[in-house]
Amino acid sequence: MTSLLIDSGNSRIKWRWINCESKSKNDHYIDISDLKLLAKYFSRDESVNSKPDRVLLANSAGQQREAEITEIVFELWGVECELVRSVESFDTLKNGYHNPAQLGVDRWLGMIASWSRLQEPFILIDSGSAITIDLVCLVDGYGEHQGGVILPSLGDSWDDFACKIPHLKEMPLIERGGEGSLIGKSTVEAMRLDLAGTAESVRKVVQNILKLHKQNGGNLPRVVVTGGGSAQLLNSITLGQSIKFTTVKSLVLDGLAILCDP
């Protein structure tokens, strides 16, 4: 069985072909400006000689993008995309949002991949069109998502952020100010901190989460960093020598691959 995994983000579309014989990580991507060429890229991939049996799509870029990609896939192969959504739990990982479906699917899949790999507490930082920071704790053998923070990408203001991610206009009005809650369990709560997209903002949030976790008696979480801006972020941020970092390139596709296992 051949499967096509698609990660549709706000800046890029990434994909990976997998089959029963191989779990290849030969990933491909295009910028969203080349969306009209996506069918040509799919058709000329050397990693597959026939149409996919399954296509799993994780889309975090709004309903219009989802419709465009599903149409491209159906016109090419007559295959319906399986639209992956955030749910209440997967295996021993629990979604911490008040409404689990509201958690960005890219964040959820990143946590699934990280939890599957680590099975220990971790902070997941995804540095892309936005910077998201999520905490997963170990409770009675389960990974329990405690919530997260959403910040503009490095160098961006909140106005820049809104322009890059237009589907946020569908969200209720967000009033930012002060420190608010440390981490949020809804998109509105996660975006409430009045912090710009800087390495200092990320350091501040992560250090506060580590401090809170230590006060609650937990072991120091590992910090997992992913996303297109991860190298720039790691070159700019200092968290201390005792912090364990793990850098992973394609966590969303890794998460999709886990869901694709029979």
Which residues are part of the catalytic machinery?
106
Name the residue among 213, 207, 59, 197 with its Cα closest to residue 131: 197
Dist. CA 203–CA 206, nearest whole Å:
5
Helix (H, G, I), strand (E, B) or coil at 40: helix
Give the Cβ contact number of residue 183 at 10 Å. Answer: 21
| Torsion 49-51-53-59 (CA) sign | positive
Q: Is the distance from CB of 121 to CB of 212 less than 8 angstroms?
A: no
Which of 128, 133, 123, 127 is closest to 210 using CA atoms? Answer: 123
- Contact between residue 96 and residue 147 where contact means Cβ atoms under 8 Å apart: yes
Q: In terms of residues, how long is the chain?
A: 262
DSSP secondary structure letter of residue 37: G
Cross-strand pairs, 226: 126
**d(Cα 215, Cα 67) in Å, to the nearest integer?**
46
